[in-house]
Structures are given as structure tokens and as C-alpha cells.
Amino acid sequence: MNDAEIKQAIIDIISDIAPDEDTSNLKSDVRLREQMDLDSMDFLDIVMELRKRYGVNVPDTDYMQLATLDSCVNYLRGKLVAKTARV
Amino acid sequence: MRYDAIIIGAGMSGLAAGIRLAMFDKRVVILERHYVWGGLNSFYQFKGRQFDVGLHAMTNYVPRGSKGKPLTRLLKQLRLKHEQLDLYEQSFSLISFPSANLRFDNDFETLRGEVRRAFPRQIDGFDALTREITAFNELDLDAPQVSAREIVRRHIREPLLEDMLFCPLMFYGSAREHDMDWDQFVVMWKSIYMEGFARPQQGVRHVLSLLTNRYRELGGELRLRAGVKRILTREGEAVGVELDSGEIIEADNVLSSAGLVETTKLAGGAGVPPADIRASRPDEVGKLSFTETISVLSEPLQKHRPEADATGKLSFTETISVLDAPPKTDATIIFFSNRDRFEYRCPEDLCDVDSGVICMPQNFKLPKPIDPLVRITNIANYAKWTALERGDGSSEVLIPSEWKVSGIRSQVSGNAKAIPETRYPIPDTSKTNTYTQAKQNFYERSVAAVTPAHLPDFRASVQLIDMFTPRTITHFTGHEGGAVYGSPKKSRTGETGINGLTLMGTDQGFLGIIGAALSGISMANRWVLKEGAVSEPIA
């Protein structure tokens, strides 16, 4: 997956987790928490969805890497393979 | 087949936990003893009409987009949109006592203004109490248990106001007599006074179909009429359950909403409970049970006319004359006490009709009108209700013949002086020998106890009556002692002392539909999905 696809994959997960949030204008370099009502339970869901959809394991020591869309892309670059994507 | 998790009970906590587990591809089965799901918040049909059990209102109402609130947290965890709940807010509610009343709605400033009006000297204390509540983190599971009364009294010096503020919170969530644990008090205060009441157009069945549909879509299995006889343990570890039928189902995790004492019994008393529940004994099954009556009306209640209604009702005249603002019947919920010292305890009689909750669901701001009804909830004595003999024939409550006198309503709202004092005789208190008699008797007394002090007389409009007693609660939920709010002892973390066996729902200390569902979610997350190994992500 290229960077744009990875970013879209994260946005798709957030849209599924928080269907009331508008994810169309998220800024890539601002912490997701500051743009939406996401708490630690929601970040756990993002991690679990990454594992479920793409088989990626994010150890809890790496959760900080998921703070912004940009940092998500940097961290997940090369780790995501689109083959098993499912909803 | 071995499951990842067995969930005991298809109430709000069980369904929500089931959704979370099924969402992440766990093999999960919910086992429900009853033939319908919902637990304490269920529904039924009676004489061609649909009724909810238990639900007066959904607490914790906040509008879409409110940040960090229990309702929005719940929606995200179950991946629902706010609009899917189809919620409509209350008009307003009342705390109605002989010497004062306080109105509140989904805007906290309303309650604050009412406190300032009725108790001007207490407003600074009220504000200080509010600050202390706001600052308290009720999600801190390690906070020490302290008495809410003690903390409230540091701020509120007027016993009447103290009791009035406690009244709705206790009726909607205290398993303890007279007092509450401070953390429970904070949870209830926030969910009732700072957030608010709402209801789906279709009542609780809408919430339940939303949850059951979501659960099944995700591949979860729900088995009705599947009562659990025993929780199977091996070397201090839960390994499955045995059903009433003798069938054995194996699983790595068992999540039980059956209640703390009940679950411990199901597990044969195995395991060493954590310190906070170790002292729990079978006699600490919750003592607080309720009766509930439903009166379906032929037409909506008239507006209250205190001077007219008060005339000729000797037992209430004095009481009504001291009210400083009359209750109006477009209220959604009325929390009342006929004594200024509010007594929240198991009554010596079958039922305490002198305090309770009156709910009129037609007074939510619903887009489509629903059948007008008055729902009255009183505290009841479980042991006395269960000791009653069945009696002859049906236990249906009948409309007393004196209530059907034609033209009575126009007299009540018109020339009240024409109403003879004896129009509605107070039921003979001795006629409570059988279950059937006791139901009839306490229905009539519970109605007599609220009108006209708290709402205008509606007896001439009653079309249909139904009533629940503690017997009904035990029958439908399996909760010992008919205890709606479970045991006064709570296992905050869900731990039971047996690995793989987790408690959730009422006895985990969360209350209301939202609280119960969040309890199921947090236990599924903590004990099955996270497997106890993940620290807080991104603080």
C-alpha cells in the first residue's frame, strides 16, 4: 500500500469506529485526539482493527506512533498489505 | 465446539459484551434463561398492547457530538450512530416533597436555578458539591468506598434539600438503603442531573432490537430458554457451564450478568473473591425490590389545578397547601415522597406507597403520540410478597367499580366542591392475605398516595391496569430477593476470584441501560479482548 492508501485505511477504520464523526477534513499533522472525540478505548479499537484487517500487530509500546495521520503512515509504511482487507 | 466466551444473561450488559466479542471474531454464545432477551429492561405484550419492563427513561442522554460522555463512548464501542437510538428528550421532571419541589431537565442550570429559588441559602453549598462531583473520576476503580451522605452534608446543610437530591438518584440506582457509595452517587448525579433523560419512540424494544440485530449480524449466537445450572471450574479456572438441560458448553471465558451472589453460587462457591467482595454472604443479596403499576388512560391527564383538587381530600389538604409551586402533569417523571424525610429502605409492609417514582412516557418529546399511561414505582418488601399465598384464579388487577363513575373527570377539573370526600375509598389495609388481594390493594393504595398531591386524579380515565411485584422480578431475571439493583456489594473490576469468570452488569456497579451496556463492554475489553496485557494507549 502506498502512503495515500495507508492514510485512507486509517480514516476508514476511524469512520467505522466513530460513525458520528466527520472524517472528511482531518488534518494529517494534528493529533487525532484533538480533532475528534477519541479516547483510549477507541485507540485500542484502531489497533484491533489493524490486526483484524491487515494482520498488523501494534505492540502497546508503539501506540504513541498512532497519534496523527502522518505518524500512522510513517509507522505503518511497509507493514500494511491490502490483500485481507474486509469489513 | 469450544467457545472463546460464554455470556450468561441477554440483558443490556450481556448483549453489549457479546457485540464487542463478536466484532473481533471471537466465538461467543449468550445464554438466556428466559424466552425473551432484555433482562431487567425487557418488554411484553398484555391485552394487545406493548409494554416495557423497568424502563422509565434512558439516563445519560447527551446530544450527538458531546465529547467524552458515557453515551458517546457506548455508541463508538458498538459502532452505532446517535440517530440510530431514535432518542427524544424529556419535557422535565420533578422532585416532589410535601414542603418543596424541584424541577429539573436535561439542562443542569434548570436544577441549579430551582435550588436557588427553593433553598436560597444552600446555593453556595450546592455549587461546591457540584464542583466536587465534576472533579471526581468515577472511572477510577481503585477509589476508596466512602459514604455519599457524609460528603453531601459537608456542602448541603438543609436536610430536606439533601433528601430531595438523593431521591431520584437512589430510586434509579441505589442497592443500599438510605445511603449510597460516593462513586455511585457521582455516576448517578452526572447521568441524571448533568446529562439527562430520553426515550426512543418505541421504548426499550427499539434499543434491544438494535443490539440483538447487531450481535447476530456479527455472527454472535443467542440461545433463549437456556438457563445455566452450574459454572464449571477446574483448578480455580472457569472452563464452561452446564445448562439446566444437562448440556455442557465449554469456553475459555465466562462473563456473568447473573449477579454477584448468584454467580458465586453457580460456581459452587469456588475461588477466593477479591478483598472488596470477600465479606459478601448470601444474606447480602440486595434487599431493595420494587412494585410497579401501569395504568393505561383513555385520554391524557388534565393540567393540574391544585386548589380544586385539594378540596375535600382530607389526607392531602395540608400537604398540598405547603407546596410553593404546583406540579404540572406535562412532567415526564416525578420522584415523590409524602414525607419530608425521605425513606429509602425495605418497608415493613408489603410496599411503601408514600414515596416512589411516577413516569408518564407520553410526556417525552416524542414525534408520534403514544398511549397515555401512568407508571408508579414503589419500594417493596420481597419476603412479604413471596410469602403470600397465590389465592384464587388470576392475579390480574381490576379497575375498581367506583372509579368508573361517569362524569367524574369533568367534576374534578371543574367544580371540585361537588366531589364527595368518599368518592374513592382508601382500600382496606387488612385485605392483603393472598397475592391477588395484595396486588389489587396496593395498586389502589399506590394511586391514592400520589393524587392529588403529585399529579391530578386520573382514576376515572383508567382503561387497563398491570402490576409487577418482586415475584415478577425474580421470575424474569433470576435476581435473588427480587433485587433490581443487585447486591450492595459491587465487584468494580468484575473479578470473582476465579480465573476466566468475570462479573458484569448491575453488580459491577454500573447502572441504567447505558451503564449496564458499558459494563459489559469494559469487561469484554479488559478480560477477553485485551487479555489483561495492554496498558493505556496514547495518554
> pLDDT at residue A73 above 70?
yes
Which residues of chain B neighbour A44 with C-beta distances below 8 Å?
525, 529-530, 534, 537
Question: B397 and B447 share a domain?
Answer: yes
Q: Which residue has the higher pLDDT, B101 or B513?
A: B101
Q: In angstroms, rounded to a whole number, what is the distance separating the alpha carbons of residues B170 and B343?
A: 10
Same domain, B324 and B438: yes
For A75-84, the pLDDT digits (tens) are 998 888 765 4
Q: Does A79 touch chain B (CB under 8 A)?
A: no
Which one is predicted more confidently, B298 or B89?
B89
Reported as a single tens digit per residue, the pLDDT across B95-119 is 999 999 999 999 999 999 999 999 9
Beta bridge partners of B11: B38
Residues B440 and B305 in one domain: yes
Indicate the domain borders of chain A. 3-20+35-84
Of the candidates A42, A63, A67, which has its C-beta nearest B76's C-beta?
A42
Quick one: B300 and B436 in the same domain?
A: yes
Please check whether residues B299 and B446 belong to one and the same domain: yes
Residue A45 in contact with partner chain B when CB distance is under 8 A = yes
Cβ–Cβ contact A66 with B under 8 A? yes
Nearest chain A CA: its distance from B537 CA (Å): 6
Across B71-92, average pLDDT: 95
Of B295 and B217, the structure prediction assigns the larger pLDDT to B217
- Residue B182's closest CA among B154, B142, B144? B144
- Does residue B27 contact residue B4 with C-beta atoms inside 8 Å? yes
Q: What is the pLDDT of residues B17-65, one digit of tens each?
A: 999 999 999 999 999 988 888 877 777 777 777 777 766 789 999 999 8
Provide the number of CB pairs (under 8 Å) joining chain A to chain B.
57
Give the whole-angstrom CA distance, residue B290 versus residue B395: 17
Going by pLDDT thresholds of 50, 70 and 90, the confidence category of residue B318 is very low
Q: What is the pLDDT of residue B145?
A: 79
Number of domains chain B contains: 3
Cis preceding-peptide flag for B452 (omega within 30 of 0): yes
Residue of A nearest to B78 (CA): A17
Average pLDDT over every residue of B177-204: 92
Same domain, yes or no, for B347 and B234? no
Q: Using alpha carbons, list the distances in angstroms from residue B472 to B89, B293, B345, B351, B367.
A: 29, 12, 20, 15, 32
Q: Same domain, yes or no, for B345 and B465?
A: yes
pLDDT tens-digit profile of B450-467?
988 898 888 877 888 888
Q: What pLDDT, on a 0 to 100 scale, did the predictor assign at position A60?
A: 84
**Is B346 a domain residue?**
yes
Bridge partners for B465 per DSSP: B295
Is there a contact between B79 and A64 if contact means CB atoms under 8 Å apart?
A: no
Q: How many CB atoms lie within 10 A of CB B530?
A: 15
Which residue, chain included where needed, has cell 450468561?
B8
Q: Best mutation site among B76, B79, B521, B527 for testing chain A: the one with the most A CBs within 10 Å?
A: B76
Q: What is the mean pLDDT of residues B468-493?
A: 66
Summarize pLDDT for B249-266 with one digit per residue, the tens. 999 999 999 887 788 889
| CA closest to B533 among chain A residues | A60
* Residue that finishes a domain, picked among B148, B168, B197: B197
| Burial degree of B512 (CB within 10 A; 0-12, 13-18, 19+) | buried
| Residues from chain A contacting residue B529 (CB–CB below 8 Å) | 44, 48
User: How much of chain B exceeds pLDDT 70, in percent?
Assistant: 78
| B62, part of any domain | no
pTM above 0.95, yes or no: no
pLDDT on residue B155 = 98
Flag whether pLDDT at B476 surpasses 70.
no
pLDDT for B461 equals: 78
Please determine, for residue A5, whether its predicted confidence score (pLDDT) is greater than 80: yes
Of the partner residues B73, B77, B538, the one whose CB lies closest to the CB of residue A64: B538
Alpha helices in B362-506 (DSSP H): 382-387, 408-413, 435-450, 470-477
Task: Judge if B416 and B439 occupy the same domain.
Answer: yes
Cβ contact, residue pair A19, B67, below 8 Å: no
What is the complex's ipTM, to 2 decimals?
0.89
Same domain, B175 and B234: no
Co-location of B353 and B426 in the same domain: yes
> Is the CB of residue A39 less than 8 Å away from at least one CB of chain B?
yes
Instruction: Say yes or no: A35 contacts chain B, CB-CB below 8 A.
Output: no
Q: Is B84 part of a structural domain of the chain?
A: no
Q: Do B294 and B435 lie in a common domain? A: yes
The distance of A18 to chain B (nearest Cα, Å) reads 5
Task: With cut-offs at 50, 70 and 90, classify the pLDDT of residue B538.
Answer: very low
Check whether B360 has a pLDDT greater than 70: yes
Contact A37 B25 (CB under 8 A): no
Comparing CB atoms, the residue among B67, B533, B538 nearest residue A40 is B538
CA atoms of B163 and B160, how far apart (whole Å): 5
CATH fold for the domain made of A3-20+35-84 = 1.10.1200
Instruction: Name the residue with higher pLDDT: B411 or B207.
Output: B207
Q: What is the pLDDT of residues B117-163, one digit of tens each?
A: 999 999 999 999 999 999 998 777 677 779 999 999 999 999 999 99
Q: Decide the pairing of beta strands B289-297 and B101-104.
A: unpaired
CATH of the domain at B34: 3.50.50.60
What sign results for the dihedral spanned by CA atoms B228, B234, B239, B245?
negative
Q: Is the dihedral of CA B312, B314, B316, B317 positive or negative?
A: positive
Q: CA end-to-end span of chain B, whole Å?
A: 40
Exposed / middle / buried, residue B482 (Cβ in 10 Å: 0-12, 13-18, 19+): buried
Residue B281 has pLDDT above 80, yes or no: no
Answer whether residue B60 is part of any domain: no
Rounded Cα distance between B534 and A40, Å, is 11
Let me know whether B359 and B439 are in one domain.
yes
Q: For residues B360 and B373, is the Cβ–Cβ distance under 8 A?
A: yes
> Taking CB atoms and an 8 Å limit, are A37 and B534 in contact across chains?
no
Say which residue, B290 or B361, is predicted with more confidence: B361
Residue range of the domain that includes B444? 289-475
The whole-chain average pLDDT of chain A stands at 88
Sign of CA dihedral B296, B297, B299, B303: negative
Mean pLDDT of B383-390: 83
What is the pLDDT at residue B217?
96
| Angle, helices B123-135/B182-189, rounded to nearest 10 degrees | 100
Q: Among A16, A19, A44, whose Cβ lies nearest the Cβ of B537?
A: A44
| Grid cell at residue B120 | 436560597
User: Which of A72-76, B35-39, B64-68, B390-394 has the lowest average pLDDT?
Assistant: B390-394
Among B25, B68, B81, the residue with its CB nearest the CB of A20 is B81
* Segment B303-329 mean pLDDT: 26
> How far is B188 from B203, CA to CA, in rounded Å?
21
Q: How confident is the model at residue B505 (pLDDT cuts 50, 70, 90)?
A: confident
CA closest to A39 among chain B residues = B68
pLDDT value of position B12 = 93
- A49 vs A9, A16, A29, B390, CA distance in Å? 10, 10, 22, 55
- Kindly report the average pLDDT of chain B as a whole number: 80
